[in-house]
Amino acid sequence: MSLSLADVEKVARLARLAMSDEELKAAQTQLNNIFGLIAEMQAVDTQGISPMSHAQDVAQRLREDKVTESNQREAFQAIAPQVEQGLYLVPQVIE
Amino acid sequence: MTWEIVIGLEVHTQLSTNTKIFSGASTAFGAEPNTQADAVSIALPGVLPVLNKGAVERAIKFGLATGSHIAPRSVFARKNYFYPDLPKGYQISQFDLPVVGQGALTVQVEALSGNAKPYEKTVRITRAHLEEDAGKSMHGDFHGMTGIDLNRAGTPLLEIVSEPDMSSAAEAVAYAKALHTLVRWIGISDGNMQEGSFRCDVNVSVRKPGQPLGTRREIKNLNSFKFMQQAIDYEVQWQIDTIENGGTVHQATILFNPDTGETRAMRSKEDAHDYRYFPDPDLLPLEISSEWIEQVRATLPELPQAKQARYVNELGLSAYDASILTASREMADFFEAALGDATAQAKICANWIIGEVSAQLNRDGLDMTQCPITAQQLGGMLQRIADNTISNSGAKEVFRTMWAEGGEADAIIEANGLKQVSDSGAIEALVDEIIAGNAGKVAEYRSGKDKLFGFFVGLAMKASKGKANPAQLNDILKKKLEG
């Protein structure tokens, strides 16, 4: 399996990445190299081995339902590009 | 031309945890913008999600209450899409291995046409999965920009997906209502629809009987049962008209406008649904042991359906009364507390709660939890009706006083002299006096004018200042008048 340039363009668009033609071509080569690695792994006989969803074969540890975080809005918003009335401002998204 | 309607629901119910699904930030409603948006909620680089045990526990409860399979192992996945109120660029959800698997909910459907009877409908539940909510976008007056409040980001949701088992708006609304009652009943959500704690997406399609499923359109984010009914009715008619006029229904996401009563398609982007799910490497699989499931099962209250059956079979109530009393857990708890051990009084207790109590609550704009009369106070009054201390009209007076001023039935009866006279000697004396003083009318009655009986009852009641035991009075009066 390999990615066409159109595939790479689509993935870039979904990720909201602006890429030049050269960058797209470079990304295509790099991604296809990764696909090569995947193809190699898929060739391994995994008959009788149940799939894992995580590299570590351990279970999720859970957190008690208790409030541990305090209000740090001021600190977080100090590094935001634009804030107003406590809101983070972003370019308009309404269609 | 008959058309078959096919409806399936996806309900997002906000879980009533104190904190977010993946961090210890508060989920309290109505806080100042972004004051409950911690480093995880705003997706600062390097933060890691840690799953909230309370959210998982609530999912287990829901699974148990709907007889669903609870996965011993489930997996969180990233659902990727771009929107500013989703700062990570993906929503943590569950995809192919959800926490709750197949189950079912049986609901009572009110028939719409006059003569038709309510009927039972079983709706299969496909799955329910845990996920995080997004933040809120404000398209207000921000110099052409959008304001983002991330307080809601990371709030735990249980998305409950049904099979397309419903075939009318009435069935869809009945299912949604039953689900709404259930999540509050088992205490996993406050179900507050105004605050968005219970949001419904409705998938609607139409087809000719025997044909394969038609193309569905999804009505998004309905937050009232009335709107759901209207939106489905409109959408069904629109799809039928479209097809009958030679058009084609295209799959789309649509919105309902309550002001116009119409649905309209949102602008669709061809790749809007390319979510590129994959297992979230930040989260290990969730394991739920059978011991944990049993611990949670032990905390489950008696469920509405089981209660209804018990009210009918053991207390002799009608199915209608039982369904009203189990419309909310508060109502059922009030009924049971008022009734106490006096199970023989179940019908009269039900009548008072469904009648007077509900009517007064309604009039005063209160809900059951704000009832000025406690269940114990009502129970005390019912005892005095049962042992004939007060008549029904006396009880109404006790109830009015109790509602306005509080107090126990016995004290009110005493203070207002409402004790009914059940001393037959006293009632006989009173009746004798009336017969002696109205010889003419008595003669008329005895010559066949039966209707005068009411006249004598009125006189006797008046003479007793309304306190005579009505049944006893009737008996004595009848006997004496007949001579």
- Out of A13, A65, A84, name the one closest to residue B142 (CB): A84
Q: Name chain B contacts of A85, Cβ cutoff 8 Å.
A: 33, 147
Q: How far apart are CA B204 and CA B259, in angstroms?
A: 21
Q: How many domains does chain A have?
A: 1
* A62/B97 CB distance under 8 A: no
ipTM, two decimals: 0.87
* B19/A68 CB distance under 8 A: yes
Considering the domain boundaries, does residue A71 fall inside one? no
* Residue B208 DSSP one-character state: -
CATH number of the domain bearing residue A39: 1.10.20.60
| Residues sharing a CB contact under 8 Å with residue B168, sequence separation 6 or more, in sequence order | B5, B7, B109, B112
Residue A26 at interface with chain B, using a CB cutoff of 8 Å: no
Q: What are the DSSP calls for B34-80, one per residue?
A: TTT--TTTTT-TT-----BHHHHHHHHHHHHHTT--B-SEE-EEEEE
- Give, in degrees to the nearest 5, the angle at Cα B246 between B229 and B268: 60
- B contact residues 375-434, partner A, Cβ 8 Å cutoff: none
Per-residue pLDDT at A94: 61
Q: Name chain B contacts of A67, Cβ cutoff 8 Å.
A: 18-19, 24-26
Q: Name chain B contacts of A8, Cβ cutoff 8 Å.
A: none
Q: How far apart are CA B76 and CA B367, in angstroms?
A: 39
Considering the domain boundaries, does residue A54 fall inside one? no
3-state secondary structure of B103: strand
Q: Which string of b and e fits A47-61 if b means at least 16 CB within 10 Å?
A: eeeeeebbeeeeebe
Return the half-sphere exposure (C-beta side, CA atoms, 13 A cut-off) of residue B261: 7
Per-residue pLDDT at B329: 92
Query: What are the helix (H) ranges across B418-466?
Result: 424-437, 439-446, 453-463
Query: For residue B152, what are the β-bridge partners?
Result: none
The amino acid sitting at B181 is T
* Burial class of residue B363, CB neighbours in 10 A (0-12, 13-18, 19+): exposed
Considering the domain boundaries, does residue A3 fall inside one? yes
Give the end-to-end CA distance of chain A in Å, rounded to a whole number: 36
* A66/B19 CB distance under 8 A: yes
Could you read off the pLDDT of B57-105 as tens digits, one per residue?
999 999 999 999 999 999 999 999 888 899 999 999 999 999 999 999 9
Query: What are the helix (H) ranges across B101-224?
Result: 169-185
* A60/B285 CB distance under 8 A: yes
3-state secondary structure of B94: strand
* A15/B89 CB distance under 8 A: yes
Taking CB atoms and an 8 Å cut-off, how many pairs form between chains A and B?
Answer: 136
* B284/A58 CB distance under 8 A: yes
Nearest to B428 by CA among B483, B477, B481: B477
Search chain A and give the residue with CA nearest B272.
Answer: A14
Could you read off the pLDDT of B298-355 as tens digits, one per residue?
999 999 989 999 999 999 999 889 989 998 999 999 999 999 988 889 999 999 999 9
* A53/B285 CB distance under 8 A: yes
Dihedral of CA atoms B40, B41, B44, B50 in degrees, nearest 10, equals 20
Residue B272 at interface with chain A, using a CB cutoff of 8 Å: no
- Give, in degrees to the nearest 5, the angle at Cα B32 between B28 and B37: 65
Can you list the domains of chain B with their CATH numbers? 4-292 (no CATH), 302-415 (no CATH), 424-481 (1.10.10.410)
* Residue B22 DSSP one-character state: S
Q: Name chain B contacts of A64, Cβ cutoff 8 Å.
A: 53-54
CB distance B120 to B323 below 8 Å:
no
Q: Which segments in chain B show pLDDT lower than 70?
A: 1, 112-115, 267-273, 483
Residue position matching structure tokens 């997906």: B161
CB distance B126 to A81 below 8 Å:
no
- The beta strand positions in B168-261, using DSSP E, are 198-207, 217-222, 252-257
Q: Distance of CA B117 to CAs A19, B5, B480, Å? A: 64, 20, 48
Considering the domain boundaries, does residue A9 fall inside one? yes
Considering the domain boundaries, does residue A52 fall inside one? no
Give which of A8, A50, A53, A68 to mutate to test B binding, by max B Cβ within 10 Å. Answer: A53
Per-residue pLDDT at B466: 76
Domain that holds residue A5: 1-44
Profile chain A (95 residues) by mean pLDDT over runs of 10 residues: 89 89 95 93 90 82 97 96 95 72
Task: For residue A23, give the H/E element and its range.
Answer: helix A21-42
